[in-house]
Structure 1
Amino acid sequence: MKHVSPLELKDAGADDGDPAAIVTKALESYEDRIKAIETKSAERLDRLEAKLNRQGHGAGADDLERKSFETFLRHGPDSLTEIEKKSLAAAGNTVLTPPEFGAEVLKLLRQFSPIRQYARVVTVGAAQVQYPSRTGSTAATWVADTADRTPSEPAYAGVTITPYEAATYTDVSNQLLEDNAYNLEGELASDTAESFAIAEGTAFVKGNGTTQPAGLMTATGIAQIITGAAADFPASTPADVLIKMFHALPTLWAQRGAWLMNRNTIAAIRLFKDSMGRYLLIDDLNNGAAPTLLGRPIVEAPDMDDIGANKFPILFGDLSGYRIVDRISFQVLRDPYSMATKGQTRFHSRKRVGGSITNPDRFVKLKVSAS
């Protein structure tokens, strides 16, 4: 704050020699300067808060990203302010969706694709990622006092997972875009989640591993148990087949295991009883938890096979032995031109994701076959 000299006080009251007037004018000058300082401080605080919000700090960070994303969807990138552009990873007509949008989509994905909920999910920053998989272990042997020792070495193989691209698009009426009461972001999240969930769910179960993630049921190296009947479970002892599957895995993996099957297979399993006449499948009616089979939960996956000749309707194992790698989160491209003659704007959505089994020894699958 600038010091006011007696000379300035004198000049301030030069027109009237009243000492009271001189003091009053000096105080008014002080008040004006204090207000100017307060205004500048407030502006600096506002700029600092906006900067922190852009970096993901502060209570308004999520609101800023959400509002910026909605503005982009409704009006395009040219309508974004500089602060809004910085809150989103924007490039032309494409933005990387804000975190809460991606979280909402993933939450909806789980309703369609339960594999993602149970598998090990990681985010990667490369075109491919490789994980070591142990194929052999050292072995200790008993020896005499001075006898030669037997050498042994662990063996490893690399499992390479490549992210593949999944994409879809949604057309939205321009009139709906102009209607602020319309929950555009929520509708886009719901529509996107459904299309990606269907694609992911199928790939994580039956994907070919060349143009899409490698599926659980198409991976190599998984042990299998056969039913002993050509097109079904054996009529006399159907429960024995499931008991064999459960005990085909080491205790550690069996205790972490889950059963994977579709709803039709679950319906058939519900009829199976043990030697005491008790049903194998148990529902937790009080807590609403997943039904259990031999003490382990059942995961319903609509992409699994039905029971039939040479089909694989059931998988049992520790699903964390399947790894999902997310390379690019959801991106949205706003295209106002392709459907302009129909009064619509097209939104292209894409992501890159890969998947594969990293530990085949944690799984066993059931084949419907006589031998």
Structure 2
Amino acid sequence: MTAGQAKRAPEVKSALDEGDVTGAFHEFMNAFETFKEANNEKLKQLETRSADVVTVDKVERISQALDEQKQALDTLVLKKTRPVLGRGGAALHDLERKQAFDAYMRSGDERGMRSLEEKAMSYGSAPDGGYLVPDETEAAIGARLAELSPIRSIASVRQVSSAVLKKPFAVTGPAVGWVAETAARPETATGTLDELQFPTAELYAMPAATAMLLDDAVVDLDQWIASEVETAFAEQEGAAFVNGDGINKPKGFLSYARVANATWSWGNVGYNVTGAAGALPATDSSDVLIDLVYALKAGYRQSASWVMNRKTQATLRKLKDADGNYMWQPPATPGSRAMLMGFPLVEAEDMPDIGADTTPIAFGDFRRFYLVVDRAGVRVLRDPYSAKPYVLFYTTKRVGGGIQDFDAVKLLKFGTV
């Protein structure tokens, strides 16, 4: 066995690290040849005398390395045969990316991340723009946001790769009519289409870490960054989805034009009034809630939710129906939502308090009403200079939002007109 052959076994994983199935297979076959040579040498020794301990140990080591490489090769082949799902394909889901990201976070070594981003030809992959976190970390952040951000949890969420999502909708449908069986079919009018645009804006957080935290190999930095940014992202999102002005942030549904439901038209959010400035009616207070429920079309009521803040909920919790039953009911199981008139109630602290001419209560199908747009990719830029001895991690994601169906939600205005 030559010196080159003896050294070959420790190198068999190089192609696996590169994600090259063909190269990995050739290296596996070379390792197998090395194994056969070493094992043949051991068998020859056994024919004349007892096998040399060094030879036996060599065979065992090469055999173990061969088993490990075969297992890794099978895993790599399986990854390559899977259909590509979502952004980036399998190459961005492997262990190599996680290891490169961990090295960047702990020590600022960006060589691995730069190489991966260049291979993927990612948008904005320059070091001064930060690097994309592994897909698992991005998914964890998204899952946490869905739990913490009240509007996101009930709205539609769509992931895009561009800066703006453009969604067409029909202002008027095609003309239709009744005709006799043998009568001529005149050409119908063409439906009118318009376009909704949902631009994304940058949302950021900047958690800080100590050198001791980064040196601690037990700490999972992926989970740490997700847990550090979740609350900051959720708070900013929650405020923007309700009251955002659409300038460098999503447009909140309370920032759109509001009109009385009797004169509602597309592009506006309809509302009912309580008939009393800053208060519920003195008598039959619950009737205004019933009227609001039935101001919504039946198709939207099936998946409707109430949205209000905690103070407003405290006010409605005291209401009873005509039979003396409380209209508000507590959650049936831990983790579920309270119910109001049989519909789930979502607490959004950014909703306004009850006051003169405010709209603190929304009711409707938010899945069809509001669209949250996430641009694929959460980026992290490591900054060890600005707050020494701490290391800052400038974490950004791009989010947009706006109304996609103006008829799916109605508001309750505490006023007279």
Secondary structure class of the residue paired with 1:329? coil
Flag structure 2 segments of 5+ consecutive residues without an equivalent: 1-32, 34-43, 83-89, 257-266
Q: Which residue of 2 aligns with 1:271?
A: 318
Equivalence for 1:324:
372
Structure 2 match to 1:158: 195
Share of identical aligned residues, percent? 32
Whether the 8 Å contact between 1:163 and 1:325 is mirrored in structure 2 is: yes
For 1:333, the equivalent position in structure 2 comes to 381
Contact 1:119-1:323 within 8 A present in 2 as well: yes
Q: How does 1:207-356 map to 2 (within 5 A)?
A: 207-219=244-256, 220-286=267-333, 288-321=335-368, 322-339=370-387, 342-356=388-402
Question: Does structure 2 conserve the Cα–Cα contact (< 8 Å) formed by 1:258 and 1:317?
Answer: yes
Alignment map for 1:1-371 (pairs within 5 Å): 24=48, 45=70, 48=73, 65-78=97-110, 92=127, 94-138=130-174, 140=176, 153-219=190-256, 220-286=267-333, 288-321=335-368, 322-339=370-387, 342-371=388-417
SS at match of 1:353: strand
Structure 1 residues 160 and 46: CA distance shift in structure 2, 3 A? same
Q: Is the 8 A contact 2:357 2:415 kept in 1?
A: yes
Aligned residues: 349
TM-score (norm 2): 0.71
Within 1, Cα distance between the matches of 2:160 and 2:142? 17
Distance in 2 of aligned mates of 1:184 and 1:195: 18
- Per-residue Cα deviation, 1:313-343 (whole angstroms, up to 9, x for no partner): 011111112111111421111122223xx31
Distance 2:236 2:205 in 1: 10
Aligned CA distance change for structure 1 residues 86 and 178 (closer, same or farther; 3 Å): farther
Distance 1:292 1:21 in 2: 81
What is the DSSP-based 3-state SS (H/G/I as helix, E as strand, rest coil) of the residue aligned with 1:256?
coil
Secondary structure in structure 2 of the residue aligned to 1:228? coil
- The answer to whether the 8 Å contact 2:379/2:397 transfers is yes
Aligned-partner Cα distance in 1 for 2:329–2:135:
38
Distance 1:260-1:324 versus aligned 2 partners, 3 A rule? same
- 2:314 maps to a residue whose letter is A
Q: Retained in 2: the 8 A contact 1:62–1:100? A: no
Secondary structure in 1 aligned to 2:171? strand
**Whole-angstrom CA distance in 1 between matches of 2:288 and 2:213:** 55
Find the counterpart in structure 1 of residue 6 from structure 2.
Answer: none
Distance 1:87 1:172, change over 3 A: farther
Aligned partner of 2:21 in structure 1 is none
Q: Is the 8 A contact 1:54 1:83 kept in 2?
A: no
**Cα gap change, 1:154 to 1:71, in 2 (>3 Å):** same
- What is the alpha-carbon distance in structure 1 between the residues aligned to residue 75 and residue 332 of structure 2? 50
Aligned AA (1:323): L
Query: What SS does the aligned partner of 1:77 have?
Result: coil
Q: Distance in 1 between matches of 2:410 and 2:94?
A: 44
**SS class of match (1:299):** strand
Q: Match for 1:255: what amino acid?
A: Q
Larger relative contact order (Cα-Cα within 8 Å, sequence gap ≥ 6): 1
Would the alpha carbon gap of residues 127 and 32 (structure 1) be closer, same or farther in structure 2, given more than 3 Å must change?
A: same
TM-superposed CA distance for 1:175, in Å, is: 2.6
Q: Secondary structure at the match of 2:338?
A: strand
Instruction: Give, in whole Å, the separation in 1 of the partners of 2:148 and 2:339.
Output: 20
Determine the structure 1 residue equivalent to 2:263.
none
Residues 56/111 of structure 1: CA separation in 2 closer, same or farther (3 Å cut): farther
Q: Is the 8 A contact 2:101 2:113 kept in 1?
A: no
Max Rg structure? 1
Query: Which stretches in structure 1 are left out of the alignment for 5+ residues?
Result: 2-19
TM-score, normalised to structure 1, is 0.79
SS of 2:255's partner is: coil
Distance 1:313 1:150, change over 3 A: farther
Which deviations, in whole Å up to 9, do the C-alpha atoms of 1:48-89 show, x marking residues without a partner? 46856997989xx66665454333211122585999989998
Please tell me whether the aligned partners of residues 113 and 131 of structure 2 are also in contact (alpha carbons under 8 angstroms).
Answer: no
Residue 193 of structure 1 deviates from its aligned partner by 0.7
In structure 2, C-alpha distance between the alignment counterparts of 1:100 and 1:164, rounded to whole Å: 22
Distance, in Å, in 2 between the alignment partners of 1:82 and 1:130 is 32
- Judge conservation of contact 1:77–1:92 (CA < 8 Å) in 2: no
User: What SS does structure 1 have at the residue aligned with 2:272?
Assistant: strand
- Tell me by how many angstroms 1:294 deviates: 2.1
RMSD: 4.0
Is the partner of 2:399 in helix, strand or coil? strand
Partner residue in 1 for 2:10: none
Cα distance between partner residues in 2 of 1:329 and 1:22: 60
In 2, the alpha carbon distance for the partners of 1:82 and 1:210 equals: 32
| Cα deviation 1:110-162 (Å, max 9, x = unaligned) | 34312112211111122212112232234655689989989655333210111
